[in-house]
Chain A
Amino acid sequence: MEVPILKQGAFLIATFQAALSDADLNQLRMGLVQQVVKFRSRAVIVDVTAMDVMDSFASRTLREIAHMIRLRGAETVIVGIQPEVAFAMVQLGLTLEGVATALDLEEGLAYLNEKFKMTK
């Protein structure tokens, strides 16, 4: 399943779909980092609004993506985690520690703009 990755200035926005298989996630991990390299992006926003369930593999993959992207000197923000999903995640101990999060795309962009003090 193709995950759309859009370029927004110095940022990339990846919108995860509802049912991503483990293979999809693995592909994404490499794909996103390659895109960061190609466009010399400063940050990636991963939008998981459409995901109504987040298992431990998906959670670990997100953290790995963030770490890999940080090694390229770029920031990652996960946005759009639904309340029910957040609740389920913390009960399983999946806290996405060390990865920035925001309520939605708008908040994610605001966070990054603040962080890089950029004007649009």
Chain B
Amino acid sequence: MAKRDGNIPDPDLKRTEEPSELLRELVAHLRQNRTQLREEWVVRISETRLLTAMTKEEIFAEATSVYDSYVEALETEAFEALQAYARNLSERIIPRGVETHEVVGIVLLLRDVLARSLFAKYQTDFKKLNRILDAYEPAANRIANTVAVGFVQERERVIRQQQEAIRELSTPVLQVRERLLILPIIGVIDPQRARQLTEQLLRGIRTNRAKVVVIDITGVAAMDVTVANHLVQTVEASRLLGATVIVTGLSPEIAQTLVTIGVDLGKMNTVGDLQGGIEQAERLLGYKVASITEPN
């Protein structure tokens, strides 16, 4: 055993491992102790009350797959594959109600559990521990980052998809007679939706050559002043395309809003309910509805 003084070189320095060698060593350790470390991690997860939306069996199954992917990412440094895995995982667990902080939390817990096992293994060799951590930490942090980003990206994708579906569902422009369109509006109208409604309606007027439009807002509980103004603008813009608008189904709250903003009610053609609105529209278009009587 060489003495360590100024002249004799540190034996440790002669045999410095490559970072990749160190990574392989620690990956091997993590694989060897897989069962025990994974168990420890699952215990930590329930201690910190994460993933409460999932059953024990589900957590175990997901933990196994996450652990293996984690170790594989450490080994291969294939972070795109990891991000794809994270998005995939997110697609499964987001509908279960798992939140961002839970996903980030469990990845960080795993990082800690694995780090502690490294401390335990290399506790007698401080220098080596440092080199091992030099290899481990950047990779572990990158993994945590990648998984979090993947999760958030998936969430954003789901939100965009839902918004699109809502928009499509909620603004049908329906032709019920020649030259007569109905636009039934349901739910909350924000300025963006109001704008989209107007554009869709104007296009519909032109395509269907509509002369009368019945906009039914029975399904709209309330609208603020901005949206009420949008409605007025929609009526005015429709007129510029030669179509008359009848608004039906105004709730008392909305009637109040319109009066408050001083809407010129002479400009707004309103009828109580949809049935009344369609009947008036038919009169405007020169239709008459007669019942079919049986010949005697």
* Interface residue A55 (Cβ < 8 Å from any Cβ of B): no
From the candidates B199, B203, B234, B240, name the one contacting A96 in the complex (CB within 8 A).
B240
CB contact between A90 and one of B233, B242, B243 (< 8 Å): that residue? B233
Within 122-172 of B, Cβ neighbours of A (below 8 Å) are at none
Q: Please, how many angstroms separate the alpha-carbon atoms of A15 and B202 in the complex?
A: 22
- Asked whether B206 is an interface residue with its Cβ less than 8 Å from the other chain, the reply is yes
How large, as a class, is the contact surface on chain B? 10 to 19
Q: Are A83 and B233 in contact (CB under 8 A)?
A: no
A100 to chain B: closest residue by CB: B242
- Type the 1/0 row for B236-280, where 1 means its CB is closer than 8 Å to any CB of A: 111111110000000000000000000000000000000000000
Contacts of A86 in B (CB 8 A): 202, 237-238, 240-241
Return the contact of B199 from the options A87, A89, A107 (Cβ within 8 A): A87
- Tell me the nearest residue of chain B to A114, going by C-beta: B286
List residues of A whose CB falls within 8 A of some B CB: 78-79, 81, 83, 86-87, 89-91, 95-96, 101-103, 107-108, 111
In addition to A87-B202, A89-B237, A101-B240, 19 A-B residue pairs with Cβ atoms within 8 Å of each other are A79-B242, A83-B203, A83-B205, A83-B206, A83-B237, A86-B202, A86-B237, A87-B233, A89-B240, A90-B234, A95-B239, A96-B240, A101-B239, A103-B205, A103-B209, A103-B241, A107-B211, A107-B242, A111-B242
Q: Can you list 29 A-B contacts with CB-CB less than 8 angstroms, sorted by A residue number?
A: A79-B242, A81-B241, A83-B203, A83-B206, A83-B241, A86-B202, A86-B238, A87-B199, A87-B202, A87-B237, A89-B237, A90-B234, A90-B236, A90-B237, A91-B233, A95-B236, A95-B240, A96-B240, A101-B241, A101-B242, A103-B205, A103-B206, A103-B209, A103-B211, A103-B242, A103-B243, A107-B209, A107-B211, A108-B242
Residues of B within 8 A of A (CB): 198-199, 202-203, 205-206, 209, 211, 233-234, 236-243
